[in-house]
């Protein structure tokens, strides 16, 4: 339905932190028309519905039944993603969902299988794929600017420390955060790792209590000979530290952190640049808009999606293999044929 | 009317480049309610009115007569500012206007005099005052972090080169661009210069044809002993170069440029950071939101305005003195008592 | 013999690349007096002897027999280090040697045992320990500025690619280059790793032919919970890439690369900083002087040596364990009690 | 006498701060042979003579009479330069002198006239012309990389604050420091300014007492249309701040400051780079070697000198014009025909 004037009718599920980004983007995107917002928090729904002049609901049925609704944005808490997505598929809507699509490989496969069967577009929001810095980095690698990649390093250190409430439904550090870096590595190299070795540690009591970890290092091996590391922490006091570095035979490309401002103070102590951006809403603000914009192009203009079933599935499989390695203390060969 | 729940009813005059920023900010600001958009371009008005679900007009009378309208945003072409502002004052509306308030000192004084007489808030958008980098720089200076300021340098080099159409109503390089740097210097130092010496040159034929210049250097002297330079160009091929540096007895503070992305490539040629942000919509995107947010605080919560009559008036007087210096080839003593 | 006026009588063995640094430092150090230079290349010896007004020899006996000689500097090719050192010990001289002290753990232990028995100072040149950037980094970690270390990363990528001639006597990539990073990690953390996992690859034919590798990643685990990675390459086209990063609960400290010059060009392509310093003579020029200066303080003023028997021994043991891991494909527990 | 094996016989006048650089460079330069050191401080002379195995003198006659001496290095206090240079010329020696050649235009002209008449090489040490960063900057400008230059800015801020003892014979801030920046501007642009406007201030009591100033801004105009500023301070607490920036129609090239180390600390305060290099011995260490190396090429290989009579003369004339402008408060047209 490649109609440049078409404005996509949208229902937004979830008015929390992620929902807020989407609201702002929906409000200003010339090709989207927000029709409904859905959240179990009645007061919140009413406030947002008034501000954005849309219909507010505490349950999604009515919205999904509305033929003017072309697409569903899933920004609810993680555990409900699968269910919301499946009901949207049943209603024949296009889907843009925050990661993850599901909690198991079976759920992930089922979601994409059903969407495919119905011919429905579905996009999972691996936000780094829509950030200009990561895109430029990826383009540099794919263009051959650094020759064949030999070493890759991805770093993700959280700011602020997630709360127990968040962590309880986060699906664990490997799946909650590690998959982003795993996805970045796969995307940059256009190759899947064949083996992973992972070690972990936990410093923070509230995370240990949940049986989760707060520090991970993974070492990945690729058939091409390329090798990579991923290092993750749940607590970076100097800001949201998100970097990637690809080293190749002809050069190196890096995504560096961004300072909060470009103000710099020089004194007898040193040359003090502003602190690193605080958290993901700051760092990925534009990426969220571009992500949504890509979703519209995917749905309306049939542009191929930048995140596919294979991307979601393989990132999941690698994260599982890494967890197994961390549990057993030995490297794990990755089997992509499992179901 | 300090009511935190109050949503300011707004009419936007002008749907051009500046108008577009304000539209996006109005759409997502929780304390604003866009009611009307006004522009002489009928098609544009209709398109925007539909997207934002507001009333579109090609003339402002109806909007100004509407009691639900609390404030007017003036984003029309420069020559019409004075007239639109004066009609908004006549209608008893608060005013947020793009620079300049008027083309003459008399117009500037008249606008503020009338607004003051009617008790109407009026804010002129000197955007650097609302940019986090400049704010942090100013706070560093005012906090004494660099001791008493001794040397200040402000740089503004345009990207892209303005068109003849824009330049024709720009009021000349000193008033169109120089006043921003003059304002920054006054703001940083909290002191007015007593003398200015300026030299100019013109390289670009389409600017020369208009009798304007494309390159300016000013040297400013202050009673405190501080001295400053401002250097301006209409054509920076490497991006929108906007910097300031304040040197004092205890250190230095600088606002540096921002790269388009944080992607960096290292090869045998060097370490290549991404190019400087292209133009003001990129560089000042957040500043425009914060500027509008401040306007709401000013109008609704009675927060003192960050840009005052004196700021507008003195920047104008200094720009005029600089033009006189450039014309005569000698330093000009600045007289702030003129009318 | 803490005599501030004492000038150390020195004989320099080896007039190759490393020898040249030491010549320059010996010539300008106020507390050293170069007396002899020794090299098998007669012409080279004569040229240097004339320039520096010292005695040139093609064999060391005469110099070692001279009572005015207090110390020996060993800058000969790697395979001869052990033999030259042992003869210097036999002659009762203090020793400053380029890495390594020997090719086996037995040789290393023997050298330090004999030197200790005779009360002779011996210093092994792990150059990063004398570089101001690494020192500042280490001081930051030890001072608690970043809290307890949780993740450490050390990077070493060679420029230019070593020649076959060099590689033949280099003792392999793990021992030739890896020990520097292993030493840095031990030094920063003040802790020895308990386990290492390593993977390798070889891209360059002339290195593969020698049975060596050109790319290594190691993952190190520490009892404290800290984890670290080391990544190494023999071919960095963008310059000599030597960095370290220590991440802790209270912050991060990094040693970054240094540009060849501080000249920066901005154009439509980007902001182009000068390329990374070419190789170790540029990067560690000052470190070599400070290393030698420390040696004099050690010998003359009895300042404790910054590199000890344990440092040499444990770095060797870790490198061996890493090689075993790379060969077997599994993590290796490190046993420091072996002989 | 283009003889690549020729080693230049050298006498060094002056063993103070500048003398020390030259000693280190003389000691390691393969084409120089230090024969004599001369200083009025007998103890210092004897110490240095012993260290470097040369003849020490408290008066220069004997050295100048020695036929093995090819060249004289003048590193004595400023007021004696002219006299030492003239006696070296009388003795037929090549001359490498620290700035300035003389205290008046007449002295400068006389020195070059006499050297030229005798066919003697003479080089004045404008050190920035031998620094790799400034050289790369100049090459970028001359190669057309930034197109025709339109704005140039040179900054020099001293660290540490000079002592009264130094200042008393410094010849004043314009001549002592300003000429370096004036020379840089002339060199970069390959053009002499036609007019200068300068303003000054004095904050430091011990400088005011001497009738000198500690802060200067100059604004220079060129026939090509290019304009430039120079800003100078005697007291930069954050290190020796020496920068230059050239802006042109096709880009910008800058020489930035250099940090003391490449160690960077990130914490909740910001990203703290090491402080700017402390003073000129650190910043220009390599430049002093390259300067001396160029002198040898000039004398032995007849390479054209990088600093000429015109360079010394015109920098002096511009500094004088700037002083006149500061004294009169108006721009001064520069007359290069004066004697």
pLDDT of residue B270: 97
CA distance A88 to A85: 5
Indicate yes or no: CB of D217 within 8 angstroms of CB of B235.
no
Indicate yes or no: CB of B257 within 8 angstroms of CB of A262.
yes
DSSP label at residue A305: P
Indicate yes or no: CB of D219 within 8 angstroms of CB of B238.
no
pLDDT of residue A306: 97
Q: Which CATH number fits domain D129-286+315-333: 1.20.120.330, 3.30.70.640, 1.20.950.20, 3.30.360.10?
A: 3.30.360.10
Question: Each residue of C167-194: pLDDT tens digit?
Answer: 998 999 999 999 999 999 999 999 999 9
Task: Enter the tokens of residue B321.
Answer: 């003195």
Distances, alpha carbon A245 to alpha carbons A17, A39, A283, B258, in Å: 29, 39, 17, 21
Q: Cis before residue B100, ω within 30 degrees of 0? A: yes
pLDDT of residue A1: 43
Question: Each residue of C274-287: pLDDT tens digit?
Answer: 999 999 999 999 99
Distances, alpha carbon B170 to alpha carbons B159, B303, D238, in Å: 15, 31, 41
Region class of B255: left (phi > 0), else alpha (psi between -120 and 50), else beta: beta
Residue C259 near chain B (CB below 8 Å): yes
* Cross-chain CB nearest to B264 (options A132, A256, A261): A256
Residue A251 near chain B (CB below 8 Å): yes
User: What average pLDDT does the segment D91-116 reach?
Assistant: 96
Question: Each residue of A23-38: pLDDT tens digit?
Answer: 988 888 889 999 999 9
CA distance C239 to C237: 6
Chain D neighbours, 3+ Cβ pairs < 8 A = A, B, C
Instruction: Tell me what the pLDDT averaged over chain D comes to.
Output: 95
- A-chain residue closest to C229, CA distance: A229
Q: What superfamily does domain A129-279+315-333 belong to in CATH?
A: Dihydrodipicolinate Reductase; domain 2 (3.30.360.10)
CA distance D98 to D84: 11
pLDDT of residue A3: 62
Length of chain D, please? 339
pLDDT value at B1 more than 80: no
Question: Each residue of B13-54: pLDDT tens digit?
Answer: 999 888 988 998 888 888 999 999 999 999 999 999 988 889
Residue A249 near chain C (CB below 8 Å): yes
Indicate yes or no: CB of C264 within 8 angstroms of CB of D253.
yes
pLDDT of residue C4: 62
- How close is the nearest chain C Cα to the Cα of D166, in Å? 26
Task: Enter the tokens of residue B176.
Answer: 């169109």
Helices D17-28 and D42-52 cross at an angle (nearest 10°) of 20
Residue C262 near chain D (CB below 8 Å): yes
| Domain spanning A8-125, CATH class | alpha beta
Indicate yes or no: CB of C269 within 8 angstroms of CB of B270.
no
CATH 3.30.360.10 in chain D: give the residue spans: 129-286+315-333
Parallel/antiparallel/unpaired status of strands D227-233 and D215-222? antiparallel
Q: Percentage of residues in chain C with pLDDT exceeding 90?
A: 91
CA distance C107 to C36: 26
CA distance B336 to B182: 14
Q: Percentage of residues in chain B with pLDDT exceeding 90?
A: 91
Nearest to D115 by CA among D155, D153, D147, D85: D85
- How close is the nearest chain C Cα to the Cα of B169, in Å? 28
- C-chain residue closest to D27, CA distance: C27
* Cross-chain CB nearest to A229 (options C229, C241, C330): C229
DSSP label at residue C276: B
pLDDT value at C20 more than 90: no
pTM over 0.90, yes/no: yes
Nearest to B234 by CA among B179, B284, B166, B162: B162
Burial class of C178 by CB neighbour count within 10 A (0 to 12, 13 to 18, 19+)? buried
Question: Do the beta carbons of residue A180 and residue A100 sit within 8 Å?
Answer: no
* Cross-chain CB nearest to A255 (options B24, B140, B263): B263
Which residues in chain B (23-62) have CB-CB distances under 8 A to chain A?
23-24, 27-28, 30, 51, 53
CATH of domain C131-283+315-333: 3.30.360.10
Residue D136 near chain C (CB below 8 Å): yes
**At a CB cut-off of 8 Å and minimum separation 6, what does A266 contact?**
A272, B251, B252, B253, B254, D238, D239, D241, D275, D276
CA distance C298 to B28: 67
CA distance B219 to D218: 9
Residue C327 near chain B (CB below 8 Å): no
Question: Each residue of C204-219: pLDDT tens digit?
Answer: 999 999 999 999 999 9
Parallel/antiparallel/unpaired status of strands D8-13 and C332-333? unpaired
User: What average pLDDT does the segment D3-11 reach?
Assistant: 82
Q: How many CB atoms lie within 10 A of CB B88?
A: 28
Instruction: Tell me what the pLDDT averaged over chain C comes to.
Output: 95
pLDDT of residue B20: 87
Q: What confidence category does residue D240 fall into, taking pLDDT thresholds of 50, 70 and 90?
A: very high
Nearest to D180 by CA among D108, D232, D238: D232
Q: What confidence category does residue B158 fall into, taking pLDDT thresholds of 50, 70 and 90?
A: very high
* Cα angle, residue C87 at apex, residues C83 and C88 outer, rounded to 5°: 115
CATH 3.30.360.10 in chain B: give the residue spans: 129-284+315-333
Tokens 């920046």 belong to D181
Parallel/antiparallel/unpaired status of strands D32-38 and B332-333? unpaired
CA distance D303 to D242: 28
Interface pTM (ipTM) of the complex? 0.95
* Cα angle, residue A128 at apex, residues A126 and A133 outer, rounded to 5°: 160
Residue B76 near chain D (CB below 8 Å): no
- How close is the nearest chain D Cα to the Cα of C207, in Å? 32
The list of chain A residues with pLDDT below 70 reads 1-5
Nearest to A33 by CA among B53, B12, B56: B53
Region class of A118: left (phi > 0), else alpha (psi between -120 and 50), else beta: alpha
Q: How many CB atoms lie within 10 A of CB B144?
A: 10
Question: Each residue of D14-23: pLDDT tens digit?
Answer: 999 889 889 9
- How close is the nearest chain A Cα to the Cα of B130, in Å? 12
Residue D235 near chain A (CB below 8 Å): no
Indicate yes or no: CB of D272 within 8 angstroms of CB of A271.
yes
Indicate yes or no: CB of D239 within 8 angstroms of CB of A269.
no
pLDDT value at C1 more than 50: no
Q: Percentage of residues in chain B with pLDDT exceeding 70?
A: 99
pLDDT of residue D1: 43
Chain A hits for B53, CB-CB cut-off 8 Å, are 53
* Domain B129-284+315-333 listed as CATH 3.40.190.10: no
What is the 3-class SS of C201-212, one letter each residue?
Answer: ECCCHHHHCCCC
Indicate yes or no: CB of D274 within 8 angstroms of CB of A272.
no
- B-chain residue closest to D247, CA distance: B236
Residue A243 near chain D (CB below 8 Å): no
- How close is the nearest chain B Cα to the Cα of D52, in Å? 40
Phi and psi dihedrals of A105, rounded to 5?
Answer: -60, -35
Instruction: Tell me what the pLDDT averaged over chain B comes to.
Output: 95
What is the widest separation between alpha-carbon atoms in chain D? 66
Chain A hits for C150, CB-CB cut-off 8 Å, are 201, 203, 215, 233
User: What average pLDDT does the segment D158-183 reach?
Assistant: 96
Chain A hits for C151, CB-CB cut-off 8 Å, are 215, 217, 231, 233
Parallel/antiparallel/unpaired status of strands D193-201 and D215-222? antiparallel
CATH 3.40.50.720 in chain D: give the residue spans: 8-125
Residue C268 near chain B (CB below 8 Å): yes
pLDDT of residue C186: 98
pLDDT of residue B18: 85
Question: Each residue of D185-196: pLDDT tens digit?
Answer: 999 999 999 999
Mutate to test the interface with A, among C132, C195, C215 (most CBs of A within 10 A): C215
pLDDT of residue A167: 95
The mean-pLDDT minimum among A119-123, B282-286, C48-52 falls in C48-52
Indicate yes or no: CB of D136 within 8 angstroms of CB of C261.
yes
User: What average pLDDT does the segment B308-323 reach?
Assistant: 98
CA distance A247 to A151: 5
- A-chain residue closest to B31, CA distance: A51
Residue C270 near chain B (CB below 8 Å): yes
Indicate yes or no: CB of B252 within 8 angstroms of CB of D241.
yes
Chain centroid, CA D288 distance in Å: 10
Instruction: Please report the sign of the dihedral spanned by the C-alpha atoms of residue C95, residue C96, residue C98, residue C104.
Output: positive
Chain D hits for A271, CB-CB cut-off 8 Å, are 238, 257, 259, 272-276
User: What average pLDDT does the segment D154-168 reach?
Assistant: 96
User: What average pLDDT does the segment B235-244 reach?
Assistant: 98
Question: Each residue of B183-203: pLDDT tens digit?
Answer: 999 999 999 999 999 999 999
Question: Do the beta carbons of residue D150 and residue D248 sit within 8 Å?
Answer: yes
User: What would you report as the CA-atom Rg of chain C, rounded to the nearest whole angstrom?
Assistant: 20
Indicate yes or no: CB of A253 within 8 angstroms of CB of B266.
yes
- D-chain residue closest to C255, CA distance: D263
pLDDT value at C50 more than 90: no
pLDDT of residue D13: 97
C260, C262, C266, C272 alpha-carbon torsion, rounded to 10°: 30
User: What average pLDDT does the segment D245-262 reach?
Assistant: 98
pLDDT of residue B81: 95
**At a CB cut-off of 8 Å and minimum separation 6, what does D325 contact?**
D196, D197, D198, D218, D331, D332
């Amino acid at each position: 339905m490649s109609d440049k004037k078409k404005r996509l009718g949208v229902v937004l599920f979830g008015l929390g932190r992620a929902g807020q980004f989407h609201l702002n983007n929906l409000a200003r995107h010339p090709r989207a028309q927000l029709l409904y917002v859905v959240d179990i928090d009645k007061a919140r729904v009413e406030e947002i519905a008034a501000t954005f002049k849309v219909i507010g609901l505490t349950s999604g049925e009515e919205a999904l039944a509305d033929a003017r609704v072309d697409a569903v944005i899933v920004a609810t808490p993680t555990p409900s993603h699968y269910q919301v997505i499946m009901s949207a598929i049943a209603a024949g809507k296009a889907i843009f969902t925050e990661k993850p699509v599901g909690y198991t490989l079976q759920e992930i496969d089922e979601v994409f299988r059903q969407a495919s069967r119905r011919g429905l577009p579905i996009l999972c929001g691996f936000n780094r794929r829509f950030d200009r810095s990561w895109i430029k980095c990826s383009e540099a690698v794919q263009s051959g600017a650094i020759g064949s990649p030999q070493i890759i390093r991805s770093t993700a250190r959280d700011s602020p420390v997630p709360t127990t409430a968040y962590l309880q439904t986060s699906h664990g550090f490997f799946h909650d955060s590690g998959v982003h870096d795993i996805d970045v590595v796969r995307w940059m190299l256009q190759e899947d790792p064949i083996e992973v070795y992972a070690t972990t540690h936990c410093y923070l009591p509230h995370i240990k209590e949940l049986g989760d970890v707060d520090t991970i290092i993974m070492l990945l091996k690729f058939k091409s000979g390329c090798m990579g590391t991923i290092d993750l922490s749940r607590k970076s006091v100097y800001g949201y530290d998100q970097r990637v570095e690809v080293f190749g035979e002809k050069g190196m490309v890096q995504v560096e952190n961004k300072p909060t401002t470009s103000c710099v103070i020089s004194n007898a102590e040193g040359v003090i640049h502003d602190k690193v951006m605080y958290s993901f809403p700051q760092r990925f603000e534009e990426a969220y808009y571009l992500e949504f914009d890509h979703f519209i192009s995917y749905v309306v203009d049939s542009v191929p999606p930048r995140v596919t079933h294979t991307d979601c599935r393989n990132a999941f499989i690698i994260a599982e293999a890494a967890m197994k390695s961390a549990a057993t203390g030995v490297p794990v060969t990755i089997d992509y044929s499992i179901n």
